[in-house]
Structure 1
Amino acid sequence: MIALLLFITLFILLLLGFPVAFTLAGVSLIFGYFVFGTDLFYLLPLRIFGTMSNQILLAVPLFVYMGVMLEKSGIAERLLHTMSLLMGRIKGGLAVAVILVGAMLAASTGIVGATVVTMGLLSLPAMLKRGYKPELATGVIASSGTLGQIIPPSIVLILLGSVMNISVGDLFLAAIVPGVILVILYTAFAIGTAIVNPSYAPPVPPEELQEFREGKMLGKLIRTFILPFLLVLAVLGSIFTGIASPTEAAGVGALVATILTAIEKKLTLQVVKGVMQETTHLTSMVFIILVGATAFGLVFRGVGGDTILIQLIEQANLSPYSFLAVVMIGIFIAGFFIDFIEIIFIFLPVVTPVFVAYDMNLLWIAILVSLNLQTSFLTPPFGFSLFYLKGVAPDSITTGHLYRGIIPFILNSSCTL
């Protein structure tokens, strides 16, 4: 009953809008005091220190720094412009270009907010100017911006590896195929929409394509693609070849992103200061939630919540795959209301022991969870990609456009899952 009351109290407070990190910690401290007494204040610091000393988590601020620094370099802007002209002859070419650039930025940064805002500022006005249907334009931008949650290097995969005790390198390698499948599905939908309804996605004007092909076209392409490729090669190449661990590769990526920004002559003291401030803000948000979730996990196990959950599942005679289906549906529904970090730190520590008891493949389950969490950025009313895009969209773009436009891409993500 205490475990159930703990969950109900936490859920009600979250729905009332209280800050997640402090709600987790506060509720856990109150319940923990009645369960452990003053011993809680000896146990909790040890548990928090053990969690925070995990070297894998060091990759989080480094990858955040890398993504924010790359955003400031201007490389993404040039990549999007060049790709849109390169795909000009394909039906729905601009939409395809946005999806492919989203995938490239995902492999370079892994930060949804930076990707969606950058592409929203650069491509949404261009798509609307060329006559794209608002629902298609916003859906393409919001969904392609979330690819960083599944395509490595992904902060989601790093956190999942930490919580589920799985090799982050194995997670990165396993996530490539579903990430590519997702890109293909998004691209096929954009092209199919342009073929069925040409008015939804008009082609690039011929004179604009001709202007692009004139002059040093090869030089433009090399300059556009070589720098992002070097960053991806430095990060993923060092991991997959065994030269560096994911944490070490994150450090390499941060250094290479800084060098690329310097090459682009954008590395100023003001830029460095802004990148560090944003990195500190995002990292602090992740880790303060982690501290609250650690307190919650300690109290939940202290009242025997994990044991009770396993007993309930056994009594319900759920097969391993039935339990997996229940968990996936629960995570999908939770994604409508709370952030992916909270889902990872609240749900996964509770259900992972059950998967272990069922002797299921945790690597495969982690990839399914990451795909599920990717859709949480798209599902209204609290899809963060929708918030990011709405913040930079013109006044003509309504919330209704965003909600209607994202539905086909949520279905595509569900098909991949």
Structure 2
Amino acid sequence: MALLLFVSVCLVLLSGFPVAFALAGTALWFAGIGLLTGTLDDAYLSALPNRLYGILNNQTLMAVPLFVMMGVTLERSKLAEQLLDAMGALFGGIRAGLALSVMVVGMLLAASTGIVGATVVTMGLMSLPAMMKRGYDPGYAAGAICATGTLGQIIPPSIALVLLGDVLSSAYQQAQLQMGIFSPRTVSVGDLFAGALLPGLVLVGLYMLYTLLLAWRRPHYFAPAEAVPLDRALLARLMVALVPPIALILLVLGSILMGLATPTEAAGVGAFGALLLALIRRQLSARALLGALEETVKITSMVFMILFGAALFSLVFRGLGGEALIHQLLTDLPGGVVGATLVVMAVIFLLGFILDFIEITFVVVPLVAPTLLMLGLDPIWLGIMLGLNLQTSFLTPPFGFALFYLRGVAPPSLNSATLYRGVIPFIAIQLLMMGLLALWPALATWLPQQIYGS
């Protein structure tokens, strides 16, 4: 019954039915069958009101609408345009200068907004026409913009890491209870933010290294260098473009890592700082503010509706014996913890072809994370590995959302085949980053240990 429930949910999702209602509706159907056949204890459904109240009362999840507000406001303040103009001038003396500029600006936007759709659309509207006009290979240009846009998934402050932090915290507590261990250690959003910094920067470095190697091997993919003198005017443009977003990033992320504020408090400061920055740039009209608030409500409502549906699904799935089945399956795999981790990562990667990161985070991760943690995996390392894996779901066709975002603003000359060809090398780079993290777990665990001593 549990396996049939999981398969049924996947089929309903593939039919195009809204995710939140697909999860909740299918779970209710199977709950009714389980109650009638005696295979489901009604105590599981009785726990649903408390579960939903706990979601609404969760202080960590309160950071979601605030970070969304911060990202939407910064996206509407035309911050990216000024950044790209200044970075383009700085890297103009390099053959792949515009591409490197796109990656640096995407990294800064990822740390400022954390919203993949906004970053991809903004960079697609500004960068893609310029890159194609200058003779860049269309496939590479599209792939670079899509991949850079997904950096908001892994570079903190990231909404995906906030959601993963909440899920992994519950999974870690559940794993400790099942093992009879009562440790004071917890998994916080701050841990994941600190753990994601180095892997995120290394990933950006790999993107840039691939671009430079490609410019060396296939120079016809890129426009010739255009030297720009590094004078006081350029330095002034760089200062004006870089200082405000970097100051906001340091204020938000630094306050979390230094323990001066919780993620929710820092998100509130970030949202206020974004509004202040937009006001200084004279982009905060009443219409713009209303639009940002409406977009924030839409995104937040979508996230929480999916979370409600996933809560009902997980209760019914657990009541039908699905959790015990997955635990037995993973522990019986050859290779122990390595084999179980490889299988889970492979399944999540494949699910990323058809599901969004939110569905995977709320549906799949709570089912597999407790078992992996019981097998001895470090929760911070597991969180960053999951974050990198979920990042690929934005690039993998046919349902990669970054592909849809860019396709919607790309010129007609850029067909889907060219777009898919362009993202394949960047998917490989992200998988390479996961391999590096598997070989050197300290990339994710060293900084949290230095900051928090855990």
TM-score, L = length of structure 1: 0.96
User: Deviations along 1:17-46, whole A, 9 cap, x unmatched?
Assistant: 222110100011121233357766643222
> What letter corresponds to residue 218 of structure 1 in structure 2?
L
> What letter corresponds to residue 365 of structure 1 in structure 2?
L
Distance change in 2, residues 1:215/1:360 (3 Å): closer
> What letter corresponds to residue 253 of structure 2 in structure 1?
L
How far residue 12 of structure 1 moved from its aligned partner, in angstroms, is 1.5
Q: Return the alpha-carbon distance in structure 2 between the equivalents of residues 205 and 312 of structure 1.
A: 58
Q: Return the alpha-carbon distance in structure 2 between the equivalents of residues 40 and 309 of structure 1.
A: 18
Q: Return the alpha-carbon distance in structure 2 between the equivalents of residues 333 and 89 of structure 1.
A: 41
> What letter corresponds to residue 168 of structure 1 in structure 2?
V
Q: Which residue of 1 aligns with 2:400?
A: 383
Q: Which residue of 2 aligns with 1:170?
A: 191
Secondary structure of the residue aligned to 2:260 is coil
Give aligned-pair identity as a percent. 51
Q: Does 1:25 align with 2:40?
A: no
> What letter corresponds to residue 130 of structure 1 in structure 2?
R
Q: Return the alpha-carbon distance in structure 2 between the equivalents of residues 125 and 315 of structure 1.
A: 52
Contact 1:107 1:152 in 2 (8 A): yes
Say which is worse superposed, 398-407 or 45-54, in terms of deviation.
Answer: 45-54
Q: Which residue of 1 aligns with 2:216?
A: 195
Q: Which residue of 2 aligns with 1:114?
A: 118
Contact 2:333 2:339 in 1 (8 A): no
Contact 1:234 1:256 in 2 (8 A): no
Q: Which residue of 2 aligns with 1:10?
A: 9
Contact 2:99 2:144 in 1 (8 A): yes
Q: Which residue of 2 aligns with 1:155?
A: 159
User: Deviations along 1:112-166, whole A, 9 cap, x unmatched?
Assistant: 0011111101111111111101011111101001001000011111111111102
1:15-414 equivalent positions in 2, closer than 5 A: 15-36=14-35, 42-165=46-169, 166-206=187-227, 209=228, 216-414=233-431
User: Deviations along 1:328-355, whole A, 9 cap, x unmatched?
Assistant: 0000000011100001111111001211
How far residue 312 of structure 1 moved from its aligned partner, in angstroms, is 2.9
Q: Return the alpha-carbon distance in structure 1 between the equivalents of residues 190 and 2 of structure 2.
A: 35
How far residue 314 of structure 1 moved from its aligned partner, in angstroms, is 3.5
Q: Return the alpha-carbon distance in structure 2 between the equivalents of residues 75 and 4 of structure 1.
A: 47
> What letter corresponds to residue 3 of structure 1 in structure 2?
A
User: Deviations along 1:149-191, whole A, 9 cap, x unmatched?
Assistant: 0000111111111111020001000001110110011001111
> What letter corresponds to residue 183 of structure 1 in structure 2?
V
User: Could you list the runs of 5+ residues in structure 1 that have no partner in the other structure?
Assistant: none
> What letter corresponds to residue 389 of structure 1 in structure 2?
L
Contact 1:82 1:224 in 2 (8 A): yes
Runs of 4+ aligned residues of structure 1 deviating over 6 Å after TM superposition are: none
How far residue 216 of structure 1 moved from its aligned partner, in angstroms, is 2.4
Q: Return the alpha-carbon distance in structure 1 between the equivalents of residues 330 and 145 of structure 2.
A: 40
Say which is worse superposed, 268-277 or 346-355, in terms of deviation.
Answer: 346-355
Q: Return the alpha-carbon distance in structure 1 between the equivalents of residues 224 and 112 of structure 2.
A: 28
User: Could you list the runs of 5+ residues in structure 2 that have no partner in the other structure?
Assistant: 37-41, 170-186, 435-454
Q: Return the alpha-carbon distance in structure 1 between the equivalents of residues 332 and 131 of structure 2.
A: 55
Q: Return the alpha-carbon distance in structure 1 between the equivalents of residues 43 and 427 of structure 2.
A: 46
Q: Return the alpha-carbon distance in structure 2 between the equivalents of residues 95 and 216 of structure 1.
A: 23
Q: Return the alpha-carbon distance in structure 2 between the equivalents of residues 315 and 243 of structure 1.
A: 44
Contact 1:106 1:147 in 2 (8 A): yes
Secondary structure of the residue aligned to 1:56 is coil
Q: When the two structures are aligned, how many residues end up with a matched partner?
A: 412
Q: Return the alpha-carbon distance in structure 2 between the equivalents of residues 275 and 197 of structure 1.
A: 42
> What letter corresponds to residue 21 of structure 1 in structure 2?
A
Alignment RMSD (CA, Å): 1.5
How far residue 284 of structure 1 moved from its aligned partner, in angstroms, is 0.8
Q: Return the alpha-carbon distance in structure 2 between the equivalents of residues 234 and 395 of structure 1.
A: 41
Distance change in 2, residues 1:316/1:75 (3 Å): closer
How far residue 195 of structure 1 moved from its aligned partner, in angstroms, is 1.3
Say which is worse superposed, 269-278 or 356-365, in terms of deviation.
Answer: 356-365
User: Deviations along 1:191-222, whole A, 9 cap, x unmatched?
Assistant: 1111111111113445xx35xx5672222121
